[in-house]
Amino acid sequence: MKAFAALLERLVFTPARSTKLALLRDWIATQPDPDRGIGLAAITGELSFSTAKAGLIRALAAERTDPVLFAWSYDYVGDLAETVSLIWPARAGVNAAPPSLAAVAEALATAAKADLPGLVAGWLDALDASSRVALLKLITGGLRVGVSARLAKVALAEHFARPVDEIEEAWPAVDPPYLPLFRWLEGAGPQPRAADAPVLRPLMLANPLEEGELAVLDPASYRAEWKWDGIRVQLVATRLGQRIWSRGGEDITRAFPEVAGAMEGLHAVLDGELLVIRNGVVAPFSDLQQRLNRKSVGPKLLRDYPCAVRLYDILFEGEEDLRGLPFDARRARLEAWIDRFRPERMDLSALVPFASWDELSRLRDGAREAAIEGLMLKRADSPYLAGRPKGPWFKWKRDPLTIDAVLMYAQRGHGKRSSFYSDYTFGLWRADGELVPVGKAYFGFTDQELAWLDRWIRNNTVNRFGPVREVEKALVLEIAFDAAQLSTRHKSGVALRFPRISRIRSDKPAAEADALDTLLRLVENRPDRPSGSAVAVREGAWPRRST
């Protein structure tokens, strides 16, 4: 339990993914079974022990502590589990050995409800303070250390030097504490296999199209599709179940029950874009956002933000692996499959016909539909390959839009950036002369620019609110973004998609920054906006820069 507590404590305080991975690798390398697997399952939420309620913890503390001191302490610490852990008084004569993680898990799984208080009190007596926090967070279900199942699998892959896809494939066949999995990874047993399990197959990813690259590509050997602004998903339907996998390998099935429902009875692995689609029209990404990062959804969300998947590839039909077929052949199979089953909540991503790159380029520029990010180019003869092979698939994004906005607030960043003011809120002028915030940007700048901005902010602070500084309304930032959408959640009424700082315009007076009206003209889901009208804005000013 002590090692588990130490791991949790490190994970809580570190936002960096690489650090989390190193901590997980150390855990995997040093912990005995079955603690090792139980710990992984607990932090990734695969194993949940929400057996005790806050009330039980509070009652235990009340028996052991002075109520006045407890109240002051709780007030100071601000978290019940932490307060109880820290204040828990040592009991003279208690010398029980601290329980192992496995022992705690085992007991929690079998204990009768009435035995719980005694059990928990006994553990608290035997553990040190940080182990008590871990225990209480574990049994009240409040671990929240930002470790996904995917991250744990990556750590396993790194530690055992195996491809993460193999681990992904084996994962559904094992349960915590994953003993057969560890035996296999340590070379002492076969790879666990759940025949026909709905596992994630490695995805094929596209490269961004670089300037000038088109010139050397033959338009006749490529197919084009719209690139929709949703999230990439893999639908896996087998006799054993249905799963919706995100590109990052997260199982998001439960968040999209209407799509999962439509997969029932099917037997295929499909690649597509998850979108909010109303009457055949794809809604902007901000609508889809309402549905993301939810464990479950209520009827209102299902009604207001109906989701569907626009399919663009088929990897398996039944048990048949189609990944070796060329794109054109898979496409024919996909079209035939859709014709045959006519699945609900799914449609076909249309091909965009074109004869030359010039023609396609014009089509791309003409597309200002909210949910179109650009085009995908796929080689007609390419098989479905894992990873990001160079050549067969390209994404050709629309040029971003830009506005000149005024820096209003700055906040310290996280992790490596925590000593810099690196989160920027910027605003535009309203007709009445007030500056209204329209968005936040966290990146797009170089290290030198960040240092410059940080210094500027420190020298031009007019107000402080906790970690936030309000600055003199004097610095113009050119903000690039992919789309603007109406939003009731922002004071300005507009939300920007993917805003980033493209240039620091220290040359430009703040009064000459853009008006909010300029941005409103770019809004795509504006009810009064005439369709197809091109909007006069500066485009393409965005320098290519890795973010």
Give catalytic residue positions. 227
Q: Which of 137, 132, 120 is nearest to 56 (CA)?
A: 120
Count, residues near another protein per rule CB under 8 A = 35
Report if residue 191 touches another protein, rule: CB under 8 A.
no
Site for another protein in 395-434 (CB under 8 A): 412, 416, 418-420
| Binder among 26, 106, 250, 470 for another protein (CB under 8 A) | 26
For 371, the enclosing helix (H) or strand (E) is none
Contact stretch for another protein (CB under 8 A) within 16-24, 370-378, 471-479, 527-535: 16-24
Residue reference for tokens 């790879």: 191
Residue 468, token pair as written in the block: 């936030």
Q: Is residue 78 close enough to count as binding another protein by CB under 8 A?
A: yes
CB of 62 to another protein, least distance (A): 14
Binding mask of the shown chain, residues 126 to 145, with x at each position contacting another protein by CB under 8 A: --xxx--x------------
Is 73 among the residues that bind another protein (CB under 8 A)?
A: yes
Q: Which is nearer to another protein, 11 or 495 (CB)?
A: 11
Q: Which residue's entry shows tokens 């491809």?
A: 163
For position 461 contacting another protein by CB under 8 A, the verdict is no
For the bound state, the minimum distance from the C-beta of residue 99 to another protein, rounded and expressed in Å, comes to 19
Three-class secondary structure assignment of 56-97: HHHHHHHHHCCHHHHHHHHHHHCCHHHHHHHHCCCCCCCCCC
Phi, psi angles (nearest 5°) of residue 148: -90, 165
Residue 42 has φ and ψ, to the nearest 5°, of -70, -45
Which one of residues 45, 58, 79, 117 is an interface residue with another protein (CB under 8 A)?
A: 79
- 284-323: contacts with another protein (CB under 8 A): none
Q: How many Å separate Cα 161 from the centre of its chain?
A: 25
Q: Which of 54, 72, 353, 538 binds another protein (CB under 8 A)?
A: 72
Task: Please answer whether residues 101 and 107 qualify as being in contact, where contact means their C-beta atoms are separated by less than 8 angstroms.
Answer: no
Query: Could you tell me the smallest distance in angstroms from the CB atom of residue 266 to another protein?
Result: 45
Segment lying near another protein (by CB under 8 A), choices 3-11, 196-204, 296-304, 512-520: 3-11
Return the number of the residue (98 or 180) whose C-beta is nearest another protein.
98
Under rule CB under 8 A, residue 482 binds another protein: no
Is the four-CA dihedral 155, 161, 165, 168 of positive or negative sign? negative
Q: Look at strands 307-317 and 346-348 and give their pairing.
A: parallel
Answer yes or no whether residue 158 interacts with another protein by CB under 8 A.
no
Please identify, using beta-carbon distances, which residue of 16 and 59 lies nearer to another protein: 16
Cα–Cα distance for residue pair 535/42, rounded to 1 Å: 52
Do the bridges between strand 500-505 and strand 461-465 make them parallel or antiparallel, or are there none, so unpaired?
unpaired
Exactly one of 19, 148, 290, 487 binds another protein (CB under 8 A); that residue is 19
SS3 443: coil
Selected range binding another protein among 84-92, 114-122, 191-199, 340-348, rule: CB under 8 A: 84-92
Helix extents (H) in 367-493: 447-459
Q: Which residues pair with 404 in a beta bridge?
A: 478
Residue in the structure block whose two tokens are 């670089």: 210
Contact set with another protein (CB under 8 A): 6, 9-10, 12-14, 19, 22-23, 26, 65-66, 68-70, 72-73, 76-79, 82-83, 86-87, 89, 128-130, 133, 412, 416, 418-420
